[in-house]
Chain A
Amino acid sequence: MNEERYAYRVRQALNHGLKDMSPAASRRLEAARHLALSRQKQAAPQIALAGFGVSSFRIGSHVPYLKQILAIAALLLGMWISFYWHSVQYVTALEEVDSALLTDDLPPDAFLDNDFFEWLLDDSPEE
């Protein structure tokens, strides 16, 4: 037996049976379809810039993978801000120590700190 051929004969018979559906069932199906269409999920709202008239510029409609690109860009920006902030803090701390040294404003306890002396003797460049 040719399975596919037999299956398509069954399919033809089933398709024939679709014509004899009761009007009540047809109406219910039509109503269900309209109800479903009224609740169709729309594509995610896109950011549109105002003032571009009818052909306004829409972000997201033409560039594929835009969400991923934006997410990676945001991550990189966050990393850069974090790095920059830590650098600024580090430089500020060094500045405070340097100015304290230059103005002889160090507390006597600082000279008792071995680590501090080691740091003063260390000539290697910081960066």
Chain B
Amino acid sequence: MEETTLASPQQLSCFLESIERRAFKQAMFAVHDEEAALDIVQDAMLKLAEKYGDRPDDEFPMLFQRILQNTIRDYYRRSKVRSMWTTLLSAFSSDEDDDHDPLETLAADEDDTGPKTPESKLLQAQTLNLIEDEIKKLPARQREAFLMRYWEDMDVAETAAAMGCSEGSVKTHCSRATHTLATALSAKGIKL
């Protein structure tokens, strides 16, 4: 009889550490806002740990992706409501932005660029930006399927389970996403 092994805190920690950056990027592709993306990843991590922290660790990738995509959708829904109120109340808001500290941004930028300034690195960064921009432009379902399947290394069945659709739909989404990316990137002179 097959015995299920429940995840230990160390296994959950390893899993979260292995996916946190990709999850952050996925959220960034979807919401285009760093703070919001970080909040989304944090929420998804908390939900996974609180609700499914005692599950076998091989279920984590699928569960986490499902939670992450749902959290992103929740963010969209909340944003719609918030933007409605913001529009209504914008006449009363002040222009001051206390949260933004220019020095902090400058320091972060300096850390980022640091000593790496060769032309090749710049080109590489530009290419990466173009690829990321094109991924952002993909329809949400295509982007989800593409990233889960090829970036998260989930198989078709796992991706279908995480997305709540059929395996055929996953294949279609992935194929369309790949073709759209290839067309868009080659139009910008990027051959992969």
Contact = CB atoms under 8 A, between A and B. Distances in A.
Interface stretch (B15-23, B88-96, B159-167): B15-23
Contacts of B179: 1, 3
A35 to B, nearest CB: 7
A18 B175 CA distance: 24
Contacts of A14: 22, 25, 128, 131-132, 135, 151
Contact of B150 (A1, A8, A17, A41): A8
Contact of A11 (B49, B52, B128, B151): B151
B175 A3 contact: yes
B45 to A, nearest CB: 4
Contacts of A64: 1, 3-4
B24 A39 contact: no
A124 interface: no
B122 interface: no
A8 B3 CA distance: 34
Contacts, number: 122
B48 interface: yes
Interface residues of A, number: 37
Most buried by B among A15, A18, A32, A37: A32
Given A10-B192, A23-B111, A33 B1 contact: no
Nearest to A17: B128
B112 A20 contact: yes
Given A6-B192, A9-B192, A29-B38, A16 B124 contact: yes
A42 to B, nearest CB: 6
Interface of A: 1, 3-4, 6-11, 13-18, 20-26, 28-30, 32-33, 35-37, 39-44, 64
Given A36-B48, A40-B12, A64-B1, 10 more contacts: A1-B182, A6-B182, A6-B192, A14-B128, A15-B151, A17-B128, A32-B20, A35-B46, A39-B50, A40-B54
Interface of B: 1, 3-4, 6, 9, 12-13, 16-17, 20-22, 24-25, 34, 38, 41-42, 45-46, 48-54, 104, 108, 111-112, 124-125, 127-128, 131-132, 135, 146, 149-151, 174-175, 178-179, 181-182, 192
10 tightest Cβ-Cβ pairs between the two chains A and B: A40-B53, A32-B42, A41-B53, A9-B192, A36-B45, A36-B49, A7-B150, A29-B20, A40-B49, A33-B16
11 contacts: A7-B149, A8-B150, A9-B192, A14-B25, A14-B151, A20-B125, A24-B108, A33-B13, A36-B49, A40-B50, A43-B54
